[in-house]
Amino acid sequence: MDLQRAKELLSGLADGVDPLTGEVLPEDHVCNKAEIIRAFHCVLKALPGKPPKPQPENAGKPWNDADDAVLCQMFDAGGSRKEMCAYFKRSEGSLAARLVRLGKISDRAEFRNK
């Protein structure tokens, strides 16, 4: 396995996605634990290559019920991806994965096409 492929696999896991199938990992999966996500990002940052893209302020932090409620309200009201990313200080991938988990969309691509 080459280093680039290893980085791709770890990045998928850090985003809460099975890198082989593209499916969102279950909420109780070990790769969705904050400490594990931080470890993935720490290792990815230390690997040689292009400098990592700056992460949003809340990347890797757990979601809470209040955030879920606001995200659902913003999504149902037709909020833009950019607006929601700015509000939650999270990536589009993070929001898409959360919306899948909350049953608002069927897959992450649906959010990108919104």
Task: Report how far apart, in Å, the C-alpha atoms of 76 and of each of 41, 44, 62, 82 are.
Answer: 31, 35, 22, 15
- pLDDT tens for 3-40 read 888 888 999 999 999 988 888 999 999 999 999 999 99
Residues 6+ apart with CB under 8 A from 29: 16
Does this model's pTM top 0.75? My answer is no
- pLDDT tens readout for residues 49-106: 766 678 899 988 999 999 999 999 999 999 999 999 999 999 999 999 999 999 999 9
